[in-house]
Each structure stands twice: as structure tokens, then as C-alpha cells.
Amino acid sequence: MNIHVFASGDQLDEACADLIGGIIRIKPRAVLGLATGGTPLGVYRRLIGDYRKGLVSFRHATSFNLDEYVGLPESRPESYHAYMRKNLFDHIDLPLSRAHLPNGNAADLEAECRRYDALVEEAGGIDLQLLGIGHNGHIGFNEPDRELAAGTHLVHLADTTRRANARFFNSIDEVPKQAITMGVGTILKAKMIVLIAKGADKADIVRRALEGPITTECPASLLQTHPRLIVLLDRDAAARLSPPSLKAMKGVDFQTDGYYTDLKVFSTNKLT
Ligand code: GLP
């Protein structure tokens, strides 16, 4: 696990966009796992900026989003399809035919889940999975539970998740009760995972996820088992982590004010 703490959210965005851009430069046909929510917005703005400056091209890349609401038309601005178009896809050269999201309006949702897993498999799996974290430790829409599904599946959203996401809708009543999400098995199979979190309201769950016991009751804690996890945090989200325990962990590179510029993680761990 590599944890980097940034003085500002902007610096985090820049470093994260550098990581994604770095992957694409090394492997133009990279398969990206993309996330929604408030946290990745700055990263996507940076990627658009880098694309406009000619620093990165997504022409040969493929992407898979983590999740989508069930029963919300793709044309609705709150859908993750619309979010991705507005905040990334409409502004870069990633062909829409290779920018995948689960179809939350499929007639047969179970078949749609199997189709999505097969597509990820056909693409060769995910090279870099970008993840945010929910206040209850969910990743994608994998909510805390006694057991978790490995593959793409249908989920009932926790009330806390619906309340948290109500800010993107007119009212909580409009927030769908179900979603399709990639499973933790698929997420953990990604060759590299980049977890990002910002803000004091994430400090507790970030500590539970990274320092707490590995449990399905905090799905993000399963990330501790991943061999190549990079965690990018702003100072507020990192506030409850304990530096001594971080330093004791093998491979941890803990910076308090540092700006992560080198991409040595790529030069030493070439993706194949
Ligand atoms: C949603 C998404 C998650 C995201 C989470 C946190 O529920 N399904 O993928 O990580 O929200 O969102 P935010 O970044 O807005 O805190």
C-alpha cells in the first residue's frame, strides 16, 4: 500500500491525473476502471486539461465504470451515464463505443450483470481502477454486508448512501433504491487500484478502511489485501490515520506535505 497525503485537493487531483495519464502513456490500450461521485470531479477536469494540451490521448483506451442506478433513464442528469458524458467523455477522445457502464434499464438485469463481467473479461481485465469511498465504506455500490458478491450484481442501496447521494437529485425520493455495481472480486482483480478521498467527513472511514480489520462490513477494508494499492488523500481525509502504524507497514510511503511527482511506481512495476 502506498499512501500519499496532499496539502490540497488540487494537488491530489493533479497527482491522480498524472497517474492515469502515466498508465495511458505506458500502455495506450489501457483499460481504466472509472468512478463517479464528487471526489473524482477534479481528476476528470485535470484529465480533460491534459488531453486539450496534447499531453494524453485516450484514443486506444477502454473504460468500465463501477456502477449505475437501476431504472433511471440515461438521459437524466443524475444518471452515471450522463455524469460521465458531462464530466469526461464529451471532452476527450475516448471512443464512446469503448466507454462502458452497466445498463440499469436492461429488461433482464441479471443477464446485464453477466454481460458486463464478460465484457471486462474480454477486455483483459482492468489495468487501473479509480475508486472513491462512501461514508459507510462502500466501494462502487458494494454496501457493507455479511457477505459480498464477487461479480457484477444488483444491490439495494443503503439509506445512508441514498441520503448522501440525494444532493445530486431534487429530493431523496428521486434517488433510486437499487443499482448495478461491479463486485469486489472484479475490483480486486484490477492490476492497480487508486483510492481517492477528500474532506474531514471521510477521515473516520478512511481510517477504518486502511487500518481497521478486513471485513465485509467495511468493503473498502478489502483493499488492504491488494498488492498494488495507491491511496491519495487530502490532509483532512488523512487526519485520523496514525503515522506510526503507517510507517510500520511494508512498502508504505507516507508524505505529509509532499507532492507526488515521480512515477517510479510505473518504472519499477511495468504493467503487462
Ligand atoms: C457513490 C458512488 C461511489 C462513490 C461514492 C462516494 O455512492 N457509487 O463510487 O465512491 O458515492 O462519493 P463522493 O465522492 O461524492 O463522496
Query: What is the whole-number distance in angstroms between the Cα of residue 189 and the centre of ligand 1?
Result: 20
| C-alpha distance from residue 217 to each of 72, 185, 202, 221 (Å) | 28, 15, 16, 9
CB atoms closer than 10 angstroms to residue 261? 9
| Nearest CA-CA partner of 38 in 15, 13, 62, 63 | 13
Question: Would the pLDDT of 199 be above 70?
Answer: yes
Query: What is the whole-number distance in angstroms between the Cα of residue 172 and the centre of ligand 1?
Result: 16
Supply the residue whose CA is at minimum distance from atom 12 of ligand 1. Answer: 37
How many domains in the chain?
Answer: 1
Tell me which of 13, 50, 143, 234 is the catalytic residue.
143
Query: What is the whole-number distance in angstroms between the Cα of residue 255 and the centre of ligand 1?
Result: 25
> Order of strands across the sheet with 67-69?
67-69, 178-181, 153-156
* CATH code for the domain of 19: 3.40.50.1360
Q: Which atom of ligand 1 is nearest to the CA of 38?
A: 15
Establish whether 143 is a catalytic residue: yes
Mean pLDDT of 179-183: 98
Q: Hey, what's the cell of 258?
A: 509532499
**Which residue range(s) make up the domain with 230?**
2-268
Mean pLDDT of the chain: 90
Is residue 176 within 6 Å of ligand 1 at its C-beta? no
Amino acid at 199: G
Q: Is the dihedral of CA 14, 42, 88, 38 positive or negative?
A: positive
Q: Is the dihedral of CA 135, 225, 231, 67 positive or negative?
A: negative
Tell me which of 4, 81, 138, 153 is the catalytic residue.
138
How does residue 253 score in pLDDT terms, banded at 50, 70 and 90?
A: very low
pLDDT in tens, 78-101: 999 999 999 999 999 999 999 999
Residue 112 CA to residue 105 CA, distance in Å, equals 9
pLDDT in tens, 129-143: 999 999 999 999 999
| Nearest CA-CA partner of 157 in 168, 167, 166 | 166
Tell me which of 14, 50, 136, 165 is the catalytic residue.
136
pTM of the model: 0.91
